Amino acid sequence: MKDASQCPIGVFDSGVGGLSILQALQQQLPGESFVYLADSGFAPYGERDEAFVLERARACLTLLRQHQAIKALVVACNTATALAISVLRQENPELPIFGVEPAIKPAAAASLTHKVGVLATAATLQSSKFLELLDRLQATDTEFVLQACEGLADAIEQQWQTGGNSAVLGLCRQYLAQMGAFGNAAGQIDTLVLGCTHYPFASRELQSLTGMSVRLLEPGAPVAKRVQQVLMEKGLTAQNQDGQCQLLATGETSNLQQAVSHWLNLSLPVRQV
Ligand code: DGL
């Protein structure tokens, strides 16, 4: 039987957003191989209910394992982490499973105006997991301005089909305008949490609207460090191999293909599963 440490790490998201996490994983763990699954046939997740997202999270894990044995799973999606990771962990106790959560704790620590904005899907913001996280920070003197961004992940996903980023920019403008003023002065939001893995791919648009003084926080690097630490503790670090990457999608494949070549500078085939 193949040594488990030589197996790839499975990564999934509803679509291309999880590539922001994959990018950080590849930087932190260049010797590891990855299988990335975009659940494009069932995206977006952000306006769906818990039962739907849980069923898809289970299906994604099954599809990854049918494709190839994996030694760990990264749920590269805030929505699926919020709605499904506890059940996935209960059902698969032998598999190390990592998730991504909006970085509101580091944001509270970083904010000098004590006013933090959080952009995420409606499903993430309404989830009990997120509300508990928020509750634990109520004792701090930070005010959180929460903004659900319906349609933004989808616009980021579709930008190659629609021929540009004007829909992305328009939605960023609309949602940021609802949150109040951004900047360094008292009462302004000086830290913005990107609580959906698609949103780092709209950083340029967001930063152009908030101004450069506002700090954008995304979870890729801390998650990658945590994966590295746990693989080391469990003796699962890959030995003597060059990291490879395979791409799978449950629906249309061209968004993932375009996103990987554009953002990760990789030219790889996408297999439909
Ligand atoms: N990228 C996902 C997240 O982090 C999901 C976006 C969506 O499918 O709505 O929440």
pLDDT in tens, 183-237: 999 999 999 999 999 999 999 999 999 999 999 999 899 999 999 999 999 999 9
Distance CA 256, CA 249 (A): 8
Non-local (6+) Cβ contacts of 265 within 8 A are none
Pocket mutation for ligand 1, best pick of 198, 201, 250 (most atoms within 8 Å of C-beta): 198
Judged against a pLDDT cut of 70, whether residue 150 lies above it is answered with yes
Pocket mutation for ligand 1, best pick of 22, 197, 223, 256 (most atoms within 8 Å of C-beta): 197
Q: Compute the distance from residue 16 Cα to the ligand 1 centre, in Å.
A: 9
Distance CA 42, CA 52 (A): 9
Better-predicted residue by pLDDT, 87 or 141: 87
Structure token pair of residue 213: 């003084």
Q: What percent of the chain has pLDDT over 70?
A: 99
Judged against a pLDDT cut of 70, whether residue 3 lies above it is answered with yes
User: Which pLDDT score is estimated for 1?
Assistant: 54
Judged against a pLDDT cut of 90, whether residue 139 lies above it is answered with no
User: Tens of pLDDT along 243-265?
Assistant: 899 999 999 999 999 999 999 99
User: Which pLDDT score is estimated for 219?
Assistant: 87
User: Which pLDDT score is estimated for 31?
Assistant: 95
Q: Compute the distance from residue 43 Cα to the ligand 1 centre, in Å.
A: 8
Q: Compute the distance from residue 81 Cα to the ligand 1 centre, in Å.
A: 10
Judged against a pLDDT cut of 80, whether residue 149 lies above it is answered with yes
Query: pTM value?
Result: 0.96
CA angle 60, 83, 117 (to 5 degrees): 115
Taking CA atoms only, the protein residue closest to ligand 1 atom 2 is: 77
Active site residues: 77, 196
Structure token pair of residue 147: 């903004």
Please give the number of the atom of ligand 1 that sits closest to the Cα of 17: 1
Residues having CB within 6 Å of any atom of ligand 1: 13-14, 17, 43-46, 77-79, 121, 124, 153, 196-198
Confidence of residue 33 (pLDDT cuts 50, 70, 90): very high
User: Which pLDDT score is estimated for 226?
Assistant: 97
- Which domains does the chain possess? 4-100+220-272 (3.40.50.1860), 104-217 (3.40.50.1860)
Confidence of residue 168 (pLDDT cuts 50, 70, 90): very high
For 157-167, what is the mean pLDDT?
84
Q: Compute the distance from residue 37 Cα to the ligand 1 centre, in Å.
A: 13
User: Which pLDDT score is estimated for 240?
Assistant: 75
For 36-53, what is the mean pLDDT?
96
- DSSP letters, 6-72, are GSPEEEEESSSTTHHHHHHHHHH-TT--EEEEE-GGG---TTS-HHHHHHHHHHHHHHHHHHS--SE
pLDDT mean across residues, the chain: 95
For 84-98, what is the mean pLDDT?
98
User: Which pLDDT score is estimated for 67?
Assistant: 97
Pocket mutation for ligand 1, best pick of 20, 45, 81, 154 (most atoms within 8 Å of C-beta): 45
Please give the number of the atom of ligand 1 that sits closest to the Cα of 47: 9
Better-predicted residue by pLDDT, 257 or 1: 257
